Amino acid sequence: MSTAPIYEIDPKTFWKDPYPDLKRMRAEAPIAYVPQLGATLLTRRDDIFENEKKIEIFSSDQPQGLMTVLMGQNLMRKDGAAHMAERKAIFPSVSPKTVKSVWKAQFETETAKALEELRPLGRADMVKDIAKRVSGEALKAITGLTNMSWQEMDRVSQGMIDGCANYAGDPEVEARCHDCTGSIDRHIDGMMPLLRETPDSSMLSVQMQAGLPEEAVRANIKLTISGGQNEPRDVIAGLVWTMLTHPEQLALVRDGKATWLQAFEEYARWISPIGMSPRRVARRYEAKGVTFEPEDRVFLMFGSGNRDEAAFEDPERFDVTRDTSQSIAFGAGPHFCAGAWASRCLIAEVALPMIFENLPGLALAGEVPFGGWAFRGPLEMPVTWGTIVS
Amino acid sequence: METISVTWILLDGTRKSVAVETGGNLMQAALDNGIDGIVGQCGGSLACATCHVVVEEAPSALPEIAPDEDDMLDMAEPERLPESRLSCQLVALPELDGIVLRVP
Ligand code: FES
């Protein structure tokens, strides 16, 4: 374990709202060892930004890590040339050009379908009925697992996330994770012959076209699913909630004084859907008086860096007109989120404008609890809207 | 260690010239020298377009824009110009000694 000063947290409180603790850590112990998490946390924006790039020290290769053990070694768990080669292989499925020319139309079709079905009901849960579905449908398209339902997509994603965070080794959680990866493999088996016949821009297909080993192909699809479902889901619902609770900010977008993209980038800074990324210390290293030993676990706290008062003025305030260029919501360095352009399109160009356009009079209809610090978003969100009386 | 001279025209119009070691990329050089407006979020993995520069003067022909860089440049802020490049894709080579880049 590192020689960083110790900072104790109450895991339950931290899960409910990590921001007060993170603020104190930034001020008092910006590099701190948190015994309850068994990891040394980097909480300042610039420390994260600089150190995430030092892959020879803060390595992503974590052979004993739960993600590698349960899901196979995907590109997020590789460094250097091996990582870059696979990243290049998947680029054609998530490049800005493909997003615009291939995925956007599909995002629109599926979102429209969901909203049309729900509109007559006049009420829904924004997380469970809308965000989950929009996100799941988008992920089906991009991964190429169009033979899966959006409900199953959400289930397998959650099952893997839980499995990767199962530090306590709960056998039930582990079994569910295996069941989820098994389901993904069966769906991959089902799609592979079709995509061999008719290749397309999906991630499954472009990896096959690039000739990546099947093991890597499968691991990368699992990575995409574990990392591609909850973030757009949490941001879609979370941003709707934010806009409804900050009507003056919504007005700025409605009046054309700010864009949905600005709102999206600011939300991702303010409540980062991925609050943390883990690293393994590969060799002894000293930074700011703290010595890291090989095999130490380090958490890069993106959610904290994005509220660093040294990088953002009045960071607790949600302000769509803010300059978010210092945000590290998508990470910093070689593991920068590959899905960044797809998510911007899905959320800022499709989901948010369509939700506000198609559900006139959208309003909150109950409590909206948020949870999580590694991943953070609203847990449920009852909403109502005016139905068209004909 | 061999160096080349790189000049950035900053957002306020002033110029800043520094000696940059050869071999590294010009996005990293900008970060190392605190050039405002060059963010380099993705660390040069061609995923963010926050290292956008406009080449004002090049002492010799620059390497061609690869398809991936081209695709990413379309997303650059502010909008790309014919002389736009992603500075993470420009390597400080001796033949670029004297290059002038504008922060757009
Ligand atoms: S630093 Fe991200 S594209 Fe150049």
Measuring CA to CA, which residue among A52, A100, A38, A10 is closest to residue A300?
A52
pLDDT bracket for residue A388 (50, 70, 90): low
Measuring CA to CA, which residue among B21, B39, B19, B23 is closest to residue B31?
B39
- Beta-carbon contacts of residue A11 (< 8 Å; ≥ 6 apart): A36, A37
Phi-psi category of residue B98: left, alpha or beta, with phi > 0 → left and psi -120 to 50 → alpha: left
Q: Which residues on adjacent β-strands are paired with residue A279? A: A298
Q: What percent of chain A has pLDDT over 90?
A: 84
Residue A139 has pLDDT above 90, yes or no: yes
SS (H, E, C) chain A: CCCCCECCCCHHHHHHCCHHHHHHHHHHCCEEEECCCCEEEECCHHHHHHHCCCCCCEECCCCCCHHHHHHCCCHHHCCHHHHHHHHHHHHHHHCHHHHHHHHHHHHHHHHHHHHHHHHHHCEEEHHHHHHHHHHHHHHHHHHCCCCCCHHHHHHHHHHHHHHHCCCCCCHHHHHHHHHHHHHHHHHHHHHHHHHHHCCCCCHHHHHHHCCCCHHHHHHHHHHHHHHHCHHHHHHHHHHHHHHHHCHHHHHHHHCCCCCHHHHHHHHHHHCCCECCEEEEECCCEEECCEEECCCCEEEECHHHHCCCCCCCCCCCCCCCCCCCCCCCCCCCCCCCCCCHHHHHHHHHHHHHHHHHHHCCCCEECCCCCEECCCECEECCCEEECCCCCC
Residue in B with minimal Cα distance to A327: B41
Residues of B in contact with A262 (CB under 8 A): none
3-state secondary structure of B31: helix
Return mean pLDDT, chain B: 94
Residue A390 has pLDDT above 80, yes or no: no
pLDDT at A228: 92
Q: Which of A332, A336, A341 sits opposite B75 (nearest CB)?
A: A341
Q: In angstroms, what separates the C-alpha of A51 from chain B's closest C-alpha?
A: 11
Residue A334, preceding bond cis, omega within 30 degrees? no
- Beta-carbon contacts of residue B31 (< 8 Å; ≥ 6 apart): B38, B40
pLDDT at A284: 95
Q: In angstroms, what separates the C-alpha of A206 from chain B's closest C-alpha?
A: 15
Return mean pLDDT, chain A: 94
Residue A230 has pLDDT above 80, yes or no: yes
pTM for this predicted structure: 0.92
pLDDT bracket for residue A71 (50, 70, 90): confident
pLDDT at A387: 65
B49 lines ligand 1 (CB under 6 A): yes
> How far apart are the C-alpha atoms of B104 and B98, rounded to whole Å?
19
Residue range A2-61, pLDDT digits in tens:
899 999 999 999 999 999 999 999 999 999 999 999 999 999 999 999 998 888 899 888
pLDDT at A332: 84
Residue range A277-335, pLDDT digits in tens:
989 999 999 988 999 999 999 999 999 999 999 999 999 999 999 999 999 999 988 88
Q: Cβ–Cβ of A96/B71 closer than 8 Å?
A: yes
Residues of B in contact with A336 (CB under 8 A): 41-43, 45, 47-48
B51 lines ligand 1 (CB under 6 A): yes
Contact B76, B49 (CB under 8 A): yes
The highest-confidence range among A161-165, A211-215, A227-231, A244-248, by mean pLDDT, is: A244-248
